[in-house]
Amino acid sequence: GAVVSQHPSWVICKSGTSVKIECRSLDFQATTMFWYRQFPKQSLMLMATSNEGSKATYEQGVEKDKFLINHASLTLSTLTVTSAHPEDSSFYICSARREGAGGNTIYFGEGSWLTVV
């Protein structure tokens, strides 16, 4: 079964409103999670690294004031798209890093489709 869950899977919002996407690690604690977005027929692009208890690290070109990331607990990171516009419509997917003695394992969520109308 899934070890990382995203919610919602699909969301439609009106232009100018904000929408929040959750990413949860279900059976492990994740101090680090990652947020990606994917445009149709294109690669998944890393947006930011979400660090529990501290500020997210954004990739170059990603607006931190538009894509708010909060990693308030060891099992939950949220991505809020503020003042959404149609060009923000995309597939957003998170991953969580599970740390272990044998190394790190990355688990992905199911992804969230955002449509801004």
Partner 1 sequence: GNSVTQMEGPVTLSEEAFLTINCTYTATGYPSLFWYVQYPGEGLQLLLKATKADDKGSNKGFEATYRKETTSFHLEKGSVQVSDSAVYFCALSISQGGKLIFGQGTELSVKP
Interacting residues with partner 1 (CB under 8 A)? 2, 4, 6, 32, 34, 36, 38, 41-46, 49, 93, 95, 97, 103-111
| DSSP helix, strand, coil percent of the chain (3-state; round to 5) | 5, 55, 40
Q: CA–CA separation, 52 vs 69, rounded Å?
A: 10
Instruction: Give min distance, CB of 68 to partner 1, in A.
Output: 20
Q: Which is nearer to partner 1, 15 or 42 (CB)?
A: 42
Cβ at position 108, least distance to partner 1 in Å: 4
**Closest separation between CB of residue 95 and partner 1, Å?**
7
Please identify, using beta-carbon distances, which residue of 14 and 43 lies nearer to partner 1.
43
Q: Radius of gyration (Cα) for the chain, nearest Å?
A: 14
CA-to-CA separations, 84 to 36, 97, 105, 115, 116, in angstroms, rounded: 17, 28, 32, 9, 7
Distance CA 20, CA 98 (A): 23
Closest CB to partner 1 among residues 83, 105: 105
- Of 19 and 96, the one with the shorter C-beta distance to partner 1 is 96
